[in-house]
Amino acid sequence: MNREKFFMRLAVAVIFMLVSHGAFAQDDFWQQTNGPEGGTINALAISSNKHLFAGTEGGGVFRSKNNGSSWLQINDGLTNKRVYAFTINSSKHVFAGTAGGLFRSTNNGGSWTAMNNGLTNTFVQSLAVNSSGHLFAGTFGGGIFRSTDNGESWTEVYPGTFFNRLAVHPNGSVFAATSVGVIRSTNNGDSWTNLGISASSFAVNSSGHIFAGSSGEVFRSFDNGDSWSSLDIGLTNDEVMALGINASGDIFAATFGDGIFRSTDNGDTWTAAGPGLANPYVFSLALNSNGHIFAGTNGGGVFRSTDDGSAWKKVNNGLTNSLVNTLAINSQRHIFAGTRGAGIFRSTNNGKKWTALNFASTDPFASHVNALAINSATQAIFAGTSAGIFRSTNNGNNWTAVNTNLSVFSLAINSSGHIFAGTGGPGLFRSTDNGNTWSPVNNGLTDPNIFALAVNSSGDVFAGTFGGGVFRSTDNGDSWTAVNTGLTDPHVFVLAVSSSGNIFAGTRFGGIFRSTDNGDNWVAVNTGLTTLAIDALAINGSGHVFAGSVDFGGGGVFRSTDNGDNWELVNSGLTDTIIPSLAVNSNGRVFAGTRGNGVFRSEESTNASQAIATAEDLKEIAAELPESFDLAQNYPNPFNPSTTINYALPQKVAVKLEIFDMLGRRVRTLVNESQPAGRYAIAWEGRNEQGQQAASGVYFYRLRAGEFVQTKKLTLLR
């Protein structure tokens, strides 16, 4: 295709996008990007066919069918995405315990059904199944429940306690770690005995020896829990969060802060696991029949070891459930996402691909990135972490620690390049030499917990504090004055300044406040907000304000097009409504960092005044339009009850997508229309044109798009 034809095609695509919401845009406001990868893994489980399930903190359930090499999010019917426990029974039914109840899948995670009849507490923290198929559910604050009918109904068998972690001995005894100590039932949960120790995790080896992980130690019992001995594994105070035992009897202890330890002599001596486990905060363990070990971490996703823990490899491809604390966008529209536990990621193509950017630090707290700021003059990037401040002068490729003594929660840079860093205790610090040296600037600041910073066009600096409201400095931070008139909630977590000079403050309990006089007075502007817990604010080129909520109940993203007077919820397409971070690029596209589903982006520019595409717009759209026709293999395959077929169109053409049986008879026409350039995903639920279920067997799907024709095979299993 010559240059003239290319730009003609591109111009047509741009016009179509501006008129009809984009060639690849659907009706949703948001589209999930492809990362960042990782996240917090509360639970891991492996089925008898070696499928690996990961329960995440906000992203729901992910499944891997290839030993962790790639992951697929499987949340159909799962109404709560905070997953804390799994168990799998002999019928291969998978049970998931969440912060919003228990769910069961009878099709390997393909769909989930709530199973909460009789559960008076639906925060399910632990699950176990005995050899009779009886299920036990430990809840957070609501005691222990039992089901004898595959989860259809539940009965309380132990009254309300906290931290109910469960394990089942091969002899049928049920053990539970509770807030009153470890308890045991030898009669299917009808009665319980307190065993006199405290623990938070269990494992039982093939000899029936029980291991219980506690704070700084592991306990061992040879007599079904009647007596225990303490095993020193070399810890001080770190909690043993999970225990696992392989076929050789080696024991693995996952800790919160010191990684994983291994014992090859039944717990008598322990050694630290080998290199590669970049995140030492391990929440969960799972071991398959090949002896491969999977470790779920606090923010860093899943790691795998194939050599008994001697070395570890991160296996997060497709595991896009990271908690994104902060977002920043440079003048090239490169997006930087700071995560909890997985460091910083960069995308140079609007989220289609993310690259991990590693810090030059061995401190695991550096992976908790709380704030990002970019110097507009030099394009240097500053990252505020729980281990100090890091700087990159080459677009994030390399990082240098410029202060390792601060736990930084907020950053701001003024037009002179002076950097302000807000901390969680020591107060505010300033650097006037590009981060090389730092000085405290706290004169007049009565609250040292600085959670938000902003600078206006005049150079005035505003600091939002944890309990003292907003402070203002008109002398580059040398002195501060409290400016809280009308601010009825002093817990200020985010600040933003519009191009007209209006200041917006997001609070934890009082919603959003606005000041039109440089902070002297504040007015609550909450009309239309369904929640008052605001952690993120961003303003586009048209002055529209976007607010991200961290309310588990009624949150998401709100938008105001009238300077904050009124707000509307814009959550269409957003599968995670806990929004700790927001950013808007120069094109007006909004990016939202979520609590457990990575980054989402708005389908199109939100700048109301943008009627003509710029050269940068053309580059952006060109990067997203497919370069060629493509028909992907359906996934999953084989499938039941539904599968998805993806295809790509580099130009507007007549499209027909059809399903045929082995004899060449048409079973279903999925698409028969003209479609613009873009990427498409079409689901087939295994039914024919009459809506009847098709029989099990091999089928073919064929895509005709202009002159392009391609056919592929799929398999339906009933």
Domain ranges of the chain: 32-314, 322-440, 626-716
Instruction: Give the three-state DSSP class for 617.
Output: helix
- Burial group, residue 574, by CB count within 10 angstroms (0-12, 13-18, 19+): buried
Range with the lowest mean pLDDT among 195-204, 485-494, 678-687? 678-687
pLDDT tens digits, 561-603 = 999 999 999 999 898 899 999 999 988 899 999 999 999 999 8
Contact yes or no for 356/343 (Cβ under 8 A) = yes
CA 700 centroid distance within chain: 36
Q: Does residue 500 carry a pLDDT above 70?
A: yes
pLDDT for res 332: 87
What fold characterizes domain 322-440?
Answer: Methylamine Dehydrogenase; Chain H (2.130.10)
Q: What is the DSSP string of 619-636?
A: HHHHHHS-SS-EEPPPBS
What strands lie across the sheet with 408-413, from one edge to the other?
408-413, 419-423, 428-431, 439-440
pLDDT for res 273: 86
pLDDT tens digits, 143-157 = 999 999 999 999 999
pLDDT for res 129: 96
Q: Where are the alpha helices (DSSP H) in 568-705?
A: 615-624
pLDDT for res 270: 93
Max mean pLDDT among 53-57, 362-366, 662-666, 673-677 falls in: 53-57
First and final CA of the chain: distance in angstroms?
A: 46
Q: Does residue 4 carry a pLDDT above 80?
A: no
Work out the pLDDT band at 705, boundaries 50, 70, 90.
very high
Q: Does residue 111 carry a pLDDT above 70?
A: yes
- Burial group, residue 598, by CB count within 10 angstroms (0-12, 13-18, 19+): buried
Work out the pLDDT band at 402, boundaries 50, 70, 90.
very high
pLDDT for res 663: 87
Contact yes or no for 290/275 (Cβ under 8 A) = no
Give the residue-averaged pLDDT of 501-526: 97
Which residues are 357's β-sheet partners?
344
**What is the DSSP pairing of strand 545-549 with strand 534-539?**
antiparallel
> Greater confidence, 691 or 167?
167
pLDDT for res 615: 53
pLDDT for res 614: 52
Q: Does residue 510 carry a pLDDT above 90?
A: yes
Would you state the torsion angle of the CA atoms of residues 364, 369, 375, 380, taken in this order, to the nearest 10 degrees? Answer: 30
Q: What is the DSSP string of 457-523?
A: TT--EEEEESSS-EEEESSTTSS-EE--TT-----EEEEEE-TTS-EEEEESSS-EEEESSTTS--E
Q: Does residue 6 carry a pLDDT above 80?
A: no
> Greater confidence, 186 or 554?
186
Range with the lowest mean pLDDT among 7-11, 110-114, 407-411? 7-11
Instruction: Report cis status (omega within 30 of 0) of the bond before 490.
Output: no
CA dist 281 and 583 (Å) reads 29
Triad 497, 595, 538: Cα angle to 5°: 15
The count of C-alpha atoms lying within 13 angstroms of the C-alpha of 80, restricted to the half-sphere facing its C-beta, is: 21
Q: Does residue 409 carry a pLDDT above 60?
A: yes
pLDDT tens digits, 117-168 = 999 999 999 999 998 999 999 999 889 999 999 999 999 999 988 767 899 9
What strands lie across the sheet with 201-204, from one edge to the other?
201-204, 210-213, 218-221, 229-231
Q: Does residue 613 carry a pLDDT above 60?
A: no
pLDDT tens digits, 358-372 = 765 667 788 899 999
Please state which CATH class domain 626-716 belongs to.
mainly beta
Q: Do domains 32-314 and 626-716 have the same CATH topology?
A: no
Q: Does residue 216 carry a pLDDT above 90?
A: no
CATH number at 32-314:
2.130.10.10
192-207 CB burial, b ≥16 within 10 A, e <16: beebebbbbbbbbbee
126 CB contacts (<8 Å, ≥6 apart)? 84, 85, 97, 137, 138, 164, 165, 166, 176
Question: Which residue has 């700048």 as its token pair?
Answer: 607
Q: Does residue 612 carry a pLDDT above 70?
A: no
pLDDT for res 1: 40
CA dist 292 and 311 (Å) reads 11
Reported pTM: 0.81
pLDDT for res 361: 61
Q: Does residue 8 carry a pLDDT above 50?
A: no
CA dist 635 and 647 (Å) reads 12
